[in-house]
Amino acid sequence: MATKKKLNKKPVKSKPAKTQSAAAAARNRQEKTFLRAADLDLEKFEPTNEQKKDLYYYLLLNRAFDDRVAKLYRQGKIIGAAYGSRGQEATSVGSTYALGKDDIVGPIIRNAGSIIVRGLPVKNFLSNFVGRSTTPTRGRDGNSHLGDLELGVFAPISHLGSLVINLAGCALAFKIKKQPRVALTYIGDGGTSTAEFHEGMNMAAVWKLPFVCIIENNNWAYSTPTSHQNLTPDLAVKGKAYGIEAIVMDGNDVMEAYRVSKYAIEKARAGNGPILIESKTMRMKGHAEHDDAFYVPKEQFAEWQKKDPIIRCEKYLLDHRVITAQENEAIKARVAKEMEDAEEFALNAPFPNSGDGVTGVYAD
Amino acid sequence: MATVTYLEAISMGLREEMLRDSNVYMIGEDIGVYGGAFKVTKGFIDEFGEDRVMDTPISEAGIIGVCVGSALMGLRPVAEMQFADFISCGFNQLVNQAAKLHYRWGEAVPMVVRCPSGGGVHGGPFHSQNPEAWFFHVPGLKIVSPSTPYDAKGLIKAAIRDNNPVLFFEHKYLYRRIKGEVPEDDYIVPIGKGEIKREGKDMTVIAYSSAVHWALEAAEQMQKDDGISVEVLDLRSILPYDKELILQSVKKTSKAIVAHEATLTGGVGGDIAAFITEHAFEYLDGPVKRLAALDTPVPYSPPLEAHFLPNKDKMLKTMRELAAF
Ligand SMILES: Cc1ncc(C[n+]2csc(CCOP(=O)(O)OP(=O)(O)O)c2C)c(N)n1
Ligand SMILES: [Mg+2]
């Protein structure tokens, strides 16, 4: 049998590594189940000062957006449930900011930051939480469930795991069409338990698709701790089973999230197959505004509060003189004003007409 | 007798069955410490322990699949879908494994899948569906869907004691809005048996779940405003449905409307309408009418959702159209 013969062939020796230690490092890398940011050469992915300011601005806007949604929820103005991303902003913002203009992202419920970074104005985004016609869904779907292909945003459905396959599908198209584009999506620690997560990761791996999946391990899936979801504490180990590179990153450090994501996105773009990233982070509220998170130990919140991504970023920028105290105030004021205007706009925007929902079930 | 909500009645029924039979266990996402997304199993984990109130990973195929396996080994699992909409992720296990197993190898699969379903709660396309018709077409499954606390308790108990896979659709809108008297002792509502919720002589509305409520309200108004007497037949069980009771009522009133909250095309109503025309054609004084939601996904924004859903006013209009024959 031809194939057997091939298999029995002695492997061709690869070129000797330049130095002994480099070879050892390469071997070490191969044997590791997953890598950490420190294992990678990320220097060239360091954001510029302008980009750092951008990242900070988006973090603040993401937080302000969530706070506004929570406030409106308490006032009974949100239609349905209100999901937020408090504590996880750095993961969405850092990774989506690392995408190129023609790339595509599939955000899920903790990724309001991704939608904002891709450029959907917050006034239109907020409109989607109050059921108005001034959103990409025109009131047909709610909260962060929206898509806009022009912005490179793939709309999620609620069913966890589904987007992993869909974004792998986008990546498949990029490969077939030989376009240098990358697809990025997210999944919760809980979502990795779905069948569709597995099917999507496996297909992306065997076809070496230009695809990056970020597991946001925020310690909880609704009321279920990650330990009841998965036996291994590091979800990145799943990458090994698919035969792909997996990296653990500090999801509360926006600079690290940017660097690691950029590394992964560019590596995937270069045709090396998909990369799985596990972002270690924490959901700093209940599952949604209706959930007081009584089941989360107070100490856990307190411990993670110290790692708040916004405070950390702010401190970094001030300490490294990327921004002045004055500039800081100006950015904060700009964000506050934007959210003020967004609320004004969204609450005064028209509801769709009652009959508007009957069309468009089918494409022409 | 105690006056309880629809939700509390389901909870009572589940608890009584857990106490009665140690083979009964609950399984689902966040049903333990959290007590379920809607708190139906609140306190169960303290009373019955983790082995009988199992929190699962987010794995609907897994949940339904282990129900099948453990049912065959002598247990009587009761699964909760966090929302009925997520049952699609366990579809294969239900329609191919659970539903066909007894037919293929003669072994019973006693299991219940509870599905919080229905709209009117601004849940949007993925937290509002009424997916019973997806399963109505599957021989081997049973489907029940109560409209009152009394029926909810009686049907959940009957479902748990049944030796077949039973889908229990519990309506989220009714959970805390509908209250009623429920006996504190043991009783069941037999699967397959409907009930006349209101007697009438001029037309019959055949409904289940939320539709029963707008049928009853509209019937009241028809009596008052139009002097027309409407009978309301609550199916309670959708698969199998009570053919005898339907024929009995329609032969008496000669007019029928079939109503449900799920979308129209391919819905349960079509099958019942066909059954009536096939078996009571010569008794009919008008077409069998159907009232259901529009054939679109469930929209999120309140004006869109209100337009999409059937309600009391649409029911009145349908009744008046039929009364004109
Ligand atoms: C297939 C499926 N089952 C159940 C749900 C209901 N649900 C919504 S979010 C959630 C918890 C998600 O946890 P995780 O994946 O860790 O994401 P996180 O909310 O922590 O960001 C559940 C169970 C769902 N959306 N999809
Ligand atoms: Mg989580």
CB-CB neighbours of A78 under 10 Å: 22
B171 touches B118 (CB < 8 A)? yes
Domain boundary among B119, B149, B182: B182
B190 touches B158 (CB < 8 A)? yes
Examine residue B110 and state whether it is found in any structural domain, yes or no. yes
Please tell me the distance between residue A284's alpha carbon and the centre of ligand 1 in angstroms: 16
- Which atom belonging to ligand 1 lies closest to the Cα atom of A161? 1
Do B165 and B256 belong together in one domain? no
Measured CA to CA in angstroms, residue A180 lies from A37, A183, A264 at distances of 25, 10, 14
Residues in chain B with CB shorter than 8 Å from the CB of A191 are 58
Beta-carbon contacts of residue B306 (< 8 Å; ≥ 6 apart) = A354
Measured CA to CA in angstroms, residue B3 lies from A121, B8, B178 at distances of 50, 9, 10
What is this model's ipTM?
0.95
Domain regions of chain A by residue span: 34-349
Do B41 and B62 belong together in one domain? yes
The pLDDT value given to residue A15: 47
CB-CB neighbours of A198 under 10 Å: 17
Task: Please give, rounded to a whole number of angstroms, the shortest distance from the CA of B305 to a CA of chain A.
Answer: 8
| A295 vs B158: CA distance, rounded Å | 34
The pLDDT value given to residue A26: 63
Task: Please give, rounded to a whole number of angstroms, the shortest distance from the CA of A361 to a CA of chain B.
Answer: 6
| A167 vs A154: CA distance, rounded Å | 8
| B281 vs B288: CA distance, rounded Å | 10
Which residue carries 């035969």 as its tokens? A243
Phi, psi of B133 (to 5 degrees): -65, -25
Examine residue B187 and state whether it is found in any structural domain, yes or no. no
Q: Which residues pair with B289 in a beta bridge?
A: B257
Q: pLDDT, tens digit, for every residue of A253-280?
A: 999 999 999 999 999 999 999 999 999 9
CB proximity A202 to B under 8 Å: no
Examine residue B263 and state whether it is found in any structural domain, yes or no. yes
Listed as ranges, residues in chain B with pLDDT below 70 are none
Protein residue closest via CA to atom 21 of ligand 1: A188
Helices (H), chain B: 6-20, 44-48, 60-72, 91-92, 99-105, 132-136, 149-161, 210-221, 243-253, 268-280, 302-308, 312-323
Question: Tell me, which fold does domain A34-349 have in CATH?
Answer: Rossmann fold (3.40.50)
| B27 vs B69: CA distance, rounded Å | 13
Phi, psi of B245 (to 5 degrees): -65, -35
Q: Which residues pair with B263 in a beta bridge?
A: B293
Residues in chain B with CB shorter than 8 Å from the CB of A137 are 300
| B203 vs A94: CA distance, rounded Å | 64
For B304, the closest of A159, A160, A357 (CB atoms) is A357
Q: Closest Cα partner for A305 from A331, A278, A281?
A: A281
Do B67 and B202 belong together in one domain? no
Measured CA to CA in angstroms, residue A89 lies from A94, A112, A279, B253 at distances of 8, 8, 11, 62
Phi, psi of B292 (to 5 degrees): -155, 180
Examine residue B281 and state whether it is found in any structural domain, yes or no. yes
Check CB contact under 8 Å for A131 and B301.
yes
Nearest chain A Cα to B296, which residue? A361
Protein residue closest via CA to atom 13 of ligand 1: A221
Do B56 and B174 belong together in one domain? yes
Beta-carbon contacts of residue B219 (< 8 Å; ≥ 6 apart) = B198, B200, B205, B230, B231, B232, B319
User: Which of B58, B88, B172 for a ligand 1 pocket mutation test, highest count of atoms within 8 Å of Cβ?
Assistant: B58
A223 touches A257 (CB < 8 A)? no
CB proximity B72 to A under 8 Å: no
Burial grade of A264 (CB within 10 A; 0-12, 13-18, 19 or more): buried
Task: Please give, rounded to a whole number of angstroms, the shortest distance from the CA of B118 to a CA of chain A.
Answer: 14
Residues 7-66 on A with a CB inside 8 Å of B are none
A307-338: burial string, b at 16+ Cβ within 10 Å, e else: bbbbebbbebbeeeebbeeeebeebeeebeeb
Please tell me the distance between residue A108's alpha carbon and the centre of ligand 2 in angstroms: 11
Q: For A234-263, give the secondary structure using H, E and C.
A: CCCHHHHHHCCEEEEEECCCHHHHHHHHHH
CB proximity A354 to B under 8 Å: yes
- Name residues contacting ligand 1 (CB within 6 A): A 110, 158-160, 188-191, 194, 216, 218, 220-222, 283, 287; B 29, 58, 60, 82, 86, 89
CA atoms within 13 A on the CB side of A26: 10
The SS3 assignment for B238 reads strand
Please tell me the distance between residue A188's alpha carbon and the centre of ligand 2 in angstroms: 5
Do B158 and B247 belong together in one domain? no
Task: Please give, rounded to a whole number of angstroms, the shortest distance from the CA of B277 to a CA of chain A.
Answer: 30
The pLDDT value given to residue A7: 42
Domain boundary among B150, B182, B214: B182
Tell me which residue range forms the domain holding B51: 2-182
Beta-carbon contacts of residue B96 (< 8 Å; ≥ 6 apart) = none
User: Which of A217, A222, A279 for a ligand 1 pocket mutation test, highest count of atoms within 8 Å of Cβ?
Assistant: A222
For A79, the closest of B30, B33, B300 (CB atoms) is B300
B81 touches B27 (CB < 8 A)? no
| B71 vs A241: CA distance, rounded Å | 32
Do B119 and B259 belong together in one domain? no
B56-73: burial string, b at 16+ Cβ within 10 Å, e else: bbbbbbbbbbbbbebbee
The pLDDT value given to residue A32: 86
| B241 vs A249: CA distance, rounded Å | 55
Per-residue pLDDT of chain A (364 residues; tens, 9 = 90+): 344 444 444 444 444 444 557 666 666 666 789 999 999 999 999 999 999 999 999 999 999 999 999 999 999 999 989 999 999 999 999 999 999 999 999 999 999 999 999 999 999 999 999 999 999 999 999 999 999 999 999 999 999 999 999 999 999 999 999 999 999 999 999 999 999 999 999 999 999 999 999 999 999 999 999 999 999 999 999 999 999 999 999 999 999 999 999 999 999 999 999 999 999 999 999 999 999 999 999 999 999 999 999 999 999 999 999 999 999 999 999 999 999 999 999 999 999 999 999 999 999 9
Residues in chain B with CB shorter than 8 Å from the CB of A222 are 29-30, 34, 37
Q: pLDDT, tens digit, for every residue of B11-42?
A: 999 999 999 999 999 999 999 999 999 999 99
Nearest chain A Cα to B29, which residue? A224
The CATH number that applies at residue B172 is 3.40.50.970
The pLDDT value given to residue A31: 72
Q: What percent of chain B has pLDDT over 90?
A: 100
In chain A, what are the helix, strand and coil shares in percent, each to the nearest 5? 50, 10, 40
| B169 vs A17: CA distance, rounded Å | 64
Angle at A345 between CA A339 and CA A349, to 5 degrees: 145
CB proximity A289 to B under 8 Å: no
Q: Closest Cα partner for B220 from B236, B251, B199?
A: B199
The CATH number that applies at residue B224 is 3.40.50.920
Please tell me the distance between residue A204's alpha carbon and the centre of ligand 2 in angstroms: 23
Residue length, chain B? 325
Number of domains in chain B: 2
Residues in chain B with CB shorter than 8 Å from the CB of A193 are 57-59, 62
What is the four-CA torsion angle of B38, B124, A144, A66, rounded to 10 degrees?
Answer: -50
Mean pLDDT, chain B, whole residue set: 98
Q: Closest Cα partner for B87 from B134, B146, B27?
A: B134
Do B23 and B87 belong together in one domain? yes
CB proximity B294 to A under 8 Å: yes
Do B243 and B300 belong together in one domain? yes
| A228 vs A190: CA distance, rounded Å | 9
Helices (H), chain A: 2-8, 20-31, 49-74, 89-97, 112-117, 122-127, 162-176, 195-206, 237-242, 254-269, 298-305, 309-319, 325-348
Q: Which ligand is nearest to the CA of A81?
A: 1
| A131 vs A347: CA distance, rounded Å | 10
